[in-house]
Amino acid sequence: MTTHNPAAGGHQHSHHFDSAEHEYESDKLGIWLFMVTEILMFGGLFVAYIIFHQIYPEMFAEGAKQLSWKMGFFNTLVLIGSSLTMALGIYYNQINQSNKAFWNLIATLALGFVFLTVKYFEYASKFDTGFLPGKLLNVETVQATSQNLGMYFGLYFCMTGLHGLHVVIGMVLIGWLAYRTRRGDFNSEYYTPVEGVGIFWHIVDLIWIFLFPLLYLVG
């Protein structure tokens, strides 16, 4: 569905846009709108957190104590680092240095992998010690003082789980970008997908920056 339009600078764009620039701006607006929906979706979880934290502060404190803030902090640094490499991946694609862009995207992918590995160990230790979500948590086994500690871990697993799912989706997209970068699809004239996924990755990162203090530190 693309037509070649020499008047627009000699590169491809879809037939219903005037120029590549026009298409780029439209795509970017679309991506930002999609980010708004992501934030609103997580917003529902944050509202639930705030309400029940207000009602059961001791229960939340007891839950937060079971989490390792060191692991959470480490993962925060990992994600911030990955946002940097992601931004560099966009930058190098914009200035036609696709080799550097490629390796920065690979680094982002690797940091995403580190994040998930740490998350795996955190989840595994919670499963082993019986800190399971909701009704699966047996208050006597874990010797909890709060009778509804399952709610904290329900929220913990829902929030970090949904976030983790976004990390996985982001990694798949970044892998696809790395492949396309290697193939030479992107240059200073066309880098919309890299920038789009980059925005998505930064938002996922940003959501973690809120999740970390709320779940690990507040208590």
Helix, strand, or coil (residue 5):
coil
10 binds another protein (CB under 8 A): no
Q: Which of 4, 6, 37, 145 binds another protein (CB under 8 A)?
A: 37
145 binds another protein (CB under 8 A): no
Q: Is 183 exposed, middle or buried (0-12, 13-18, 19+ CB in 10 A)?
A: exposed
Stretch that binds another protein, among 66-74, 104-112, 133-141, 190-198 (CB under 8 A): 133-141
Minimal distance in Å, beta carbon 90 to another protein? Answer: 21
Residues 157-176 that bind another protein (CB under 8 A): 157-158, 162
Stretch that binds another protein, among 67-75, 79-87, 88-96, 127-135 (CB under 8 A): 127-135
CA–CA distance, 91 with 104 (Å, rounded to integer):
10
Q: Name the maximum alpha-carbon separation found in the chain.
A: 73
In the bound state with another protein, the residue whose beta carbon lies nearer, of 44 and 184, is 44
The residues near 13 (Cβ < 8 Å, ≥ 6 apart) are 2, 5, 19, 20, 22, 23
In the bound state with another protein, the residue whose beta carbon lies nearer, of 159 and 178, is 159
214 binds another protein (CB under 8 A): no
Q: How many CB atoms lie within 10 A of CB 65?
A: 10
In the bound state with another protein, the residue whose beta carbon lies nearer, of 157 and 191, is 157
Helix, strand, or coil (residue 162):
helix
Given a contact cutoff of 8 angstroms between Cβ atoms, the answer to whether 160 and 133 are in contact is no
Helix, strand, or coil (residue 106):
helix
154 binds another protein (CB under 8 A): yes
Minimal distance in Å, beta carbon 117 to another protein? Answer: 24
Residues 58-77 that bind another protein (CB under 8 A): 59
206 binds another protein (CB under 8 A): no
Given a contact cutoff of 8 angstroms between Cβ atoms, the answer to whether 181 and 94 are in contact is no
Stretch that binds another protein, among 65-73, 85-93, 154-162, 198-206 (CB under 8 A): 154-162
Residue with token string 């740490």: 118
Instruction: Read off φ and ψ for residue 95, nearest 5 degrees.
Output: -105, 25
Interface contacts to another protein, rule CB under 8 A: 1, 3, 14-17, 22, 25-27, 29-30, 33-34, 36-38, 40-45, 47-48, 51-52, 55-56, 59, 133-136, 147-148, 150-151, 154-155, 157-158, 162
